[in-house]
Amino acid sequence: MRTRPVLVYDGDCGFCTASVNLVRRWIRPPCDITARQWAELETLGVTEERAEYEALWVTPDGTVYGGAQAVAKLLSSARGGWAVAGAVLQLAPVRLLAHGVYRAVARNRHRLPGSTAACSVPAGRTPGKARKD
């Protein structure tokens, strides 16, 4: 059984990889960070379909958070001001705004600096949309 949460991201996306590098350097959350391409998704209880369109935070007990919720949980697990920011992102009015921002960024990540065609979200997918696997 895992004892640490896992952050799963798209390792083919330049924007996602740059974001994870910033997380590792500045936030340093107490979690394992892995690209979806190398993650044991089935063991984590996550489908490939879900992992390809949003970042995921998987707790040791198997609870999966996606999109803006994953970011909020990641920040909440860190220390100091990062934990405060994570808590704020989980407040009802802010949470709704955070989901909208996450969806907009994810939908347009292929247009951001460092991005490639691999950064495009698959057609018909809504990045960061709240859902259950």
Look at residue 93 and tell me whether its pLDDT is greater than 90: yes
Q: What is the pLDDT of residue 11?
A: 92
- Per-residue pLDDT band at 112 (split at 50, 70, 90): confident
Q: Within its chain, how far is the Cα of 23 from the centroid? A: 11
**Alpha carbon distance 106, 67 (integer Å):** 9
> Is 122 among the domain residues?
no
Does 21 score more than 60 pLDDT?
Answer: yes
**What pLDDT was estimated at residue 34?**
98
The pLDDT of residue 133: 45
Residue 20 lies in a domain: yes
* d(C-alpha 88, C-alpha 77), whole Å: 13
Predicted pLDDT of residue 118? 61
Q: Write the DSSP assignment of 67-125 as a string of letters.
A: THHHHHHHHHHSSTHHHHHHHHHTSHHHHHHHHHHHHHHHHTGGGSTT--GGGSPPTT-
Q: Assess contact for 127 and 98: CB atoms under 8 A.
A: no
In a domain, 129, yes or no: no
First to last CA, the chain: 20
Question: In the chain, how many domains are there?
Answer: 1
Average pLDDT, the chain: 88
What are the distances in angstroms from CA 34 to CA 26, 31, 100, 104? 17, 10, 25, 23
Confidence at 109, pLDDT banded by 50, 70, 90: confident
- Residue 56: inside a domain, yes or no? yes
pLDDT bracket for residue 128 (50, 70, 90) = low
Tokens 């809504």 identify what position?
126
Q: How far apart are CA 6 and CA 119, in angstroms?
A: 21
Range of the domain at 105: 6-116
Q: pLDDT tens-digit profile of 34-80?
A: 999 999 999 999 999 999 889 999 999 999 999 999 999 999 999 99
DSSP strands (E only) in the chain = 6-9, 32-35, 56-58, 64-66
